[in-house]
């Protein structure tokens, strides 16, 4: 495995930890959430490799970007990768239920497993796990907390701006 690099980014939803290898993003973690990511001793701090990601995140938070063009590497089980791929197919400003994602990955009875895979998403915001809601339309579990989930959904629905531009 190649050397992993990291940097921190202040954002409207709190500190974000970016993790990558210089070519692709491997992780985007909300450090103010339930499970902040610990920085491993072998990782090296380096801001330069994350310039593109940071610029696109700023545009997103300003309401100026609806898709991300960042190379991603996502390590997980085959099922998790299928779920994460389905998450990337949820259009900006829209939400779907865990059950709908289960159907999209060909396992209609696996809504709970989708929830677990959603919770293991290593690249929040860019892989939009915040767009998945309960079957009854309620906001349910989110690693970054429901307040952040609500803010991201309101941003995408044009109800709020997270950055002053």
Return the active site residues. 129
Token couple for 65: 């970007």
Pairing verdict, β 25-30 and 44-45: unpaired
Helix (H, G, I), strand (E, B) or coil at 4: coil
Pairing verdict, β 25-30 and 16-20: antiparallel
Instruction: For residues 87 and 95, give the distance between their C-alpha atoms in angstroms, rounded to a whole number.
Output: 10
Helix (H, G, I), strand (E, B) or coil at 120: coil
* CA distance to 84, 125, 127, per residue, from 68 (Å): 14, 10, 9
Q: Which of 153, 109, 101, 119 has its CA nearest to residue 29? A: 119
């Amino acid at each position: 495995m190649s050397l992993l690099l990291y940097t921190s980014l202040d954002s409207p939803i709190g500190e974000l930890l970016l993790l990558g290898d210089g070519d692709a993003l491997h992780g985007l973690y909300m450090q103010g959430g339930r499970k902040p990511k610990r920085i491993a001793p072998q990782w090296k701090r380096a801001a330069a490799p994350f310039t593109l990601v940071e610029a696109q995140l700023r545009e997103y938070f300003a309401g100026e970007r609806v898709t991300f063009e960042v190379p991603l590497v996502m390590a997980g089980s085959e099922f998790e990768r299928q779920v994460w791929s389905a998450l990337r197919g949820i259009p900006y400003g829209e939400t779907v239920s865990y059950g709908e994602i289960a159907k999209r990955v060909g396992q209609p009875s696996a809504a709970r497993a989708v929830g677990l895979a959603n919770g293991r998403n290593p690249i929040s915001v860019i892989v939009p796990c915040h767009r998945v809601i309960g079957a009854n339309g309620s906001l349910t579990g989110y690693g970054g907390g429901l307040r952040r989930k609500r803010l991201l959904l309101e941003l995408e629905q044009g109800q709020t701006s997270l950055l002053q531009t």
